Amino acid sequence: MSEVVNKTLNIGICGLGTVGGGTLALLTDNADEIRRRLGSDIKVTRIATRTLDGKDLHRVETVSSDVFDVVNDVDIDILIETIGGYDPALDVIKRALSKGKHVVTANKALIAEHGNELFEIAQQNKVVLAYESSVAGGIPIIKALREGLAANSINWLAGIINGTGNFIMTEMASKQRQFEDVLAEAQKLGYAEADPTFDIEGIDAAHKLTIMGSIAFGIPLQFDRTYTEGISQITAEDISYAEELGYCIKHLGIARRSGKGIEMRVHPTLLTKSRLLANVGGVGNAILVHGNKVGATLYNGAGAGAEATASAVVADLIDLSRHLNSGAQAPLYPALGYWEMDEETPVLDIEDIEAEYYLRIPAVDRVGVMAKISSILQDHHISIEAVIQKEAISETVPIIILTHTAQEKQLNQAIAAIEALDDITGKITRIRVEPFHGEAT
């Protein structure tokens, strides 16, 4: 077999934190494997990092504290952006693409919120902005949606796409612990940031869902249209009641094609315990994708961490290197999987979706209360599937209701009417139920 002779590619890394450091380590540890796959070397020639102390950089030719040194280096073929956040990461990527450099990024927020603009810049300059590592760490879900399932019309996808939230929900369920206690432990273990808002309020998951939904349905990135609801209001009691009904609660991202448009929503969700996603515990991630021809496929693994995310960064780097060494002049496939994007199909408001619901209603322990609640639900065309009425706590009794499928707008109206009753002592807790109705196991 003749020897493959390809150009050694020069790589610049902007940001040497968890992901950037993991990427540099992986390129060093697996250098022989990568060389065999490519038939050539990948060489990290320049790194920009804010702090140099305590970092093993002796293998890198040039190190500086200015990220734009990497952008302006004419010898860099591919720039890896692992700075995170918006500033200066957005400007770094824009400038690099405009200068004709290919870019690999792990920055989910930038792709979800600025991706439409960035991909346009990349296309104009005939370069690639690769972003596999922006969603679900080491799970190759972008490639699966964009390439592996390209022959399918995607019906829906649903996923556990934030490890911090899944750790919290798993601990609350398995040990009957309260949210605040588990969050504190997650922070101590390094799973949650000092400010955990992005994780526990669903923003991180919404960024990832926005990206996956765009690829799945060929629609522009629309983070501002993705409904986002966190887990901070879930109690150990809700988890216990759900279990009594045969469910567990998971924080899911769900994207679905319906007759009215595209649903894009992140929220706590009741799943029957037999479902695949119901059995994903700890900090793990998993995404279930349903194509019209292939059916349901599951992608499961480490959704965060230095090594898992670096695996996806380097996978993009290898793809790009193969592309460059092939002599191809233009990207081989569209960034979001479609050359023709669907600009017409709307992303639905949450009030326009239809779902089944779990309701926890704090009511006075009094005869006739359940009849009033049932009457209001019936007036709003909402039928009841199951009811649990627990023992009174002081003078209040929690009433647990599972509904059949209803429109969210009508449920909101019914909740407002029920909360207005003198017999109701507080806010009603509402959690959506995702039954899949035979669409997945």
Q: Which residues are tagged catalytic?
A: 208
Secondary structure, 3-state, the chain: CCCCCCCCEEEEEECCCHHHHHHHHHHHHCHHHHHHHHCCCEEEEEEECCCCCCCCCCCCCEEECCHHHHHHCCCCCEEEECCCCCCCHHHHHHHHHHCCCEEEECCHHHHHHHHHHHHHHHHHCCCCEECHHHCCCCCCHHHHHHHHCCCCCEEEEEEECCHHHHHHHHHHHHHCCCHHHHHHHHHHHCCCCCCCHHHHCCHHHHHHHHHHHHHHHCCCCCHHHCEECCCCCCCHHHHHHHHHCCEEEEEEEEEEECCCCEEEEEEEEEEECCCCHHHCCCCEEEEEEEECCCEEEEEEEECCCHHHHHHHHHHHHHHHHHHHHCCCCCCCCCCCCCCCCCCCCCECCHHHCEEEEEEEEEEECCCCHHHHHHHHHHHCCCCEEEEEECCCECCEEEEEEEECCEEHHHHHHHHHHHHCCCCECCCCEEEEECCHHHCCC
